[in-house]
Structure 1
Amino acid sequence: MSNIKRHLFIIGLLAQASLCFSQTEILKTADSLSAVGETTKAVELLKSIEPKTESVYLKLAKIQQASRQNEEALQNYKTVLDQSPGKILTAVDYGELLLETGKADMADSLFTELSKKYPENAAFMYRIGLAKEMKKDSTAMRYFFKTHSWDSTHQGAIYKTAKYFLKNGKSYNAIMLCNTGLRARPNNVSLLSILGQSYSKTLQFEKAIEPYEKLISLGEGSEFILEKLAKSYRVTGQDEKAIETYTKMLEINDANASVHSNLGVLYLNQNKPDKAQQHFTMALLIKKQPVDNEYVNIGLSFKRQENFQEAYRNFKMALGENPENQRALIELAIAADAIYEDKEKVLKYYQDFVDKYAETGRNDMLSIAEYRISQLKKEIHMAK
């Protein structure tokens, strides 16, 4: 090599080194700007670099993705992959952003190609499933099941398959899967939710309490979870905890008629008819038609307080809402029995109930009515 050529070669190397050094400093500066929220300045700085290396395009893509400039980020990821198709991590980042932005077809195609190159990679198989699910492709579940068969601890695949089992009446399978996943990640809120629901579905309310309580401790105290927990407390006889949980639900939404109704029943069980009546009345005011059961519950609250006039009035209103409300009809007769001296009139109330429900009525209600009919007939006969 001649002295001139050697000289030019050295100058070229120095220029390249200088450029690399300069870009390295710029990349560090862009990182610093992005870290303090100056993403616009960071992007402008990176865009000013010419020519751009792969490192610059990647840095641009990541900063743009973090600041929700998704289309620009996708383009920069693609630029890198066009130049270097073998960059697997960049391909994964690109595919993840395709999924995030709803470009299911492109994501499906990309992860399918990656899966062909790495046929036992569970992560790629799972993402094919996500893309197909996004496209409402019925084959998506096959990919989630295959992912789980390759990696029994894959949290996403466990969630998808457990949710599928819960939805399709195989709650015990869902319970087994969730417990497997939670052994690896005890605070996985998605699996805790499926586990709690699966226990509830199989009427294992005592076991359902723990995952619901844990969800709330992890900050996942939505109305849905609180309602599930409250029911578990109620069914297992933990009335105070049920009341406390239903009350928390009212702090989120005080117009939930079902919560007011449940609180009313709980307070009635505790022999607190005043509080029960307040909640039954609120449920009545909130709930859309029909509201016959709310009138029945208010009537029962007045009955507990031995205010039979008001009880009678509410049972009447319940029957006005729904003439087929069996409980309302027998309770109307009992209230009438307490307030009317005219035994012939009271007898008719009980007889109306038996006439209507002789074949289809509840045995306990029919027994009450038949017993009182027998007693009233004797009293009427003795009075003559």
Structure 2
Amino acid sequence: MKQVLFVVLLLHVFKAEAQTSASSVADSLYAVGNYTKAINEYSKIGNASAALQIARSYNAIGNFEKAIAQYQFVTDENPDFELAHFELGKLLLKVGEFQKANVVFTYIIESNAENPEYYYYLGEVLRSQEQRNASLSQYKRAVGLDSTHLRSLFQLAKHYTIKQERDSALTYIEKGLQFYENDVAMINLKALVLYNDFQFENAIPLFERILELGENKNYVYEKLGYSYTMNWEFDKAKQAYNLLLNRDDTNSQTYFSLAKVYQKEKKLDSAKIFIHKALDVQKPIFAEGYSALANIARDQKDLKTALKYYSMAHDEDPLDARIYYNIATVNDQVGTDLNAKLAYYKNFLKQYPNEHPYFYESVRKRIRELKEEIHFAKE
């Protein structure tokens, strides 16, 4: 009897050693990216860990269908294998199987409610399903469990930045920056929050820091250039916009931005040069170019030229209320026919009844004044 037990024990030892050897070979193949051979070796072992490695190998190859099938096999056979569920959920999210991913992450949260990663990924699933409020709730749960969970902090900060809810956005941004002060994404969000809040002086060092950290993107130069302009740092603004033109000299918006810098400096002839350059590269020509020329003519007290360009802009974009408002006000300045002036303002109210309160009230006030002038002129 003792000899039988010894033989059985010996067989188990040999089997364990064989599995260890086969696992080492399979792991070595997997480590160097030889996934197909690794799958063949793992299939000889027959335990849960090897089955998981087969799923990972299919995933690494890019055969997501087989990977998902293998993960599902592993989780069906081993319902408590949390890691396999987690990886399955992430893969389902990756391939767009959002409802299935939702089920998986909900399941593992029920079994382990203390892992912030699970809430983050459930948040990502819900965001992909366009369930924004539900996704925010999951990100907040992740942050509640781990105040340094940077990806959840980023998603929350991004949401409130887009919504232009300044205080909420900055709350999550600052939490992220306390954990990782050089996180480019968080610095970028903070810069955008301040930029959208017209705090250009405070936004400038953040955009500069983004460039220092290697985020050498056009939009950074665009917003930095505008921030310099609004902060009266005209030379720096020109430098930012010229760097953009060195990258792409066919972008009309950059020329328009440079023109605005010169216009603020009261260098109106230089501003006109850049507007004409913008028009040269802008096909078709849009209303912005004509409006810019009209604004400069107005600054130069050349109201007839301004009216000509505003009219050309209106032809290009008849839906822009601001352009027609400018036509009405300039015509009011240069015209002599009170009834013609009144007609422009009345037409403004008719064509643009839901515009900004300033325009609406200004026009109504001028209509009352013109009616009084016409009445007294008749008398």
Which TM-score band (shorter chain)?
Answer: 0.7 to 0.9
Equivalences for residues 25-36 of structure 1 within 5 A? 25-34=24-33
**Match of residue 35, structure 2, among 42, 55, 65:** 42
**Match of residue 295, structure 1, among 282, 293, 302:** 293
1:160 matched to which residue of 2? 155
Cα deviation, 1:7-61, whole Å, max 9, x if unaligned, reads 7425623541442243133124313431xxxxxx432342254243333333333
SS at match of 2:32: helix
Alpha-carbon RMSD across the aligned residues, in angstroms, is 3.7
The CA deviation at 1:264 is 1.3
* Count of residue correspondences: 336
1:210 matched to which residue of 2? 205
Q: Which amino acid aligns with 1:47?
A: N
Asked whether the 8 Å contact 2:170–2:190 carries over to 1, the reply is: yes
Q: Which amino acid aligns with 1:44?
A: K
Q: Which amino acid aligns with 1:292?
A: Y
- More displaced 10-residue stretch of structure 1: 320-329 or 20-29: 320-329
User: Is the counterpart of residue 9 in structure 1 residue 8 in structure 2?
Assistant: yes
- More displaced 10-residue stretch of structure 1: 256-265 or 211-220: 211-220
1:229 matched to which residue of 2? 224
SS at match of 1:139: helix
Equivalences for residues 223-372 of structure 1 within 5 A? 223-270=218-265, 275-285=270-280, 286=282, 288-290=285-287, 291-296=289-294, 299=297, 316-322=308-314, 349=334, 351=336, 356=341
Query: Partners in 2 of 1:56 and 1:165 — Cα distance?
Result: 44
Query: Partners in 1 of 2:76 and 2:210 — Cα distance?
Result: 45
Asked whether the 8 Å contact 1:182–1:191 carries over to 2, the reply is: yes
User: Share of identical aligned residues, percent?
Assistant: 21
When the two structures are superposed, what TM-score results if normalisation uses the length of structure 2?
A: 0.74
**Match of residue 191, structure 1, among 172, 186, 191:** 186
Return 5+ residue gaps in structure 1 as ranges: 35-40, 334-347, 363-384
Query: Partners in 1 of 2:172 and 2:96 — Cα distance?
Result: 28
SS at match of 1:141: helix
Cα deviation, 1:72-95, whole Å, max 9, x if unaligned, reads 322333333233322223322222
Change (3 A) 1:82 1:9: same
**Match of residue 113, structure 1, among 107, 115, 136:** 107
1:142 matched to which residue of 2? 137
The CA deviation at 1:280 is 0.6
Change (3 A) 1:105 1:349: closer
2:366 matched to which residue of 1? none
Query: Partners in 1 of 2:250 and 2:296 — Cα distance?
Result: 18
Q: Which amino acid aligns with 1:152?
A: S
The CA deviation at 1:199 is 0.8
SS at match of 2:79: coil
When the two structures are superposed, what TM-score results if normalisation uses the length of structure 1?
A: 0.73
Query: Partners in 1 of 2:334 and 2:112 — Cα distance?
Result: 79
Query: Partners in 1 of 2:106 and 2:309 — Cα distance?
Result: 64
Q: Which amino acid aligns with 1:209?
A: I
SS at match of 1:255: coil
Q: Which amino acid aligns with 1:153?
A: T
The CA deviation at 1:171 is 0.8
Asked whether the 8 Å contact 1:199–1:208 carries over to 2, the reply is: yes
The CA deviation at 1:274 is 6.0
Q: Which has the larger radius of gyration?
A: 1
**Match of residue 82, structure 1, among 76, 96, 100:** 76
The CA deviation at 1:167 is 3.2
